[in-house]
Amino acid sequence: MNNPGSITSSHFNPRNPTIVISHGWLSNMKTNLNPVIRDAYLRLKETNVIVLDWMRLAIAPYPTAVRGVPDIGRGLGQFLNFLHRTTGAPFNTMHLIGFSLGGHVVGNAGRYLGGRVARITSK
């Protein structure tokens, strides 16, 4: 984070909608529906898809993972603010999707944004 070159050298297009997917407890970015949803969005239309992987905390005992959710959410919010500042990607084109505790992660991220996202979906 805070490396504008990492964004400008990627395929990120600020004119496209941005989808952020967060897995839940006992999961990682490659489990559950994360790859299915990522691939579906990428096939559907020109979209930026970011899959958050917070596995190191997600595999901890449930009470530990729950206590860490606000910090993970804050980090995601800070990253999305950085993305907005670096590329001009509007918050109102961002859709945050979370599963299980990942739903709480994306909900917490919304508290730290400099604007309002288009949608937060939690399952």
Domain that holds residue 100: 4-122
pTM: 0.92
How many structural domains does the chain have? Answer: 1
Strands 48-52 and 119-122: unpaired
Domain containing residue 80: CATH number = 3.40.50.1820
- Decide: residue 39, CB within 10 A, 0-12 exposed, 13-18 middle, 19+ buried: exposed
Q: Over its length of 123 residues, how does the chain's per-residue pLDDT go in tens digits?
A: 678 888 888 899 999 999 999 999 998 888 867 888 888 988 988 999 999 999 999 999 999 999 999 999 999 999 999 999 999 999 999 999 999 999 999 999 999 998 899 999 998
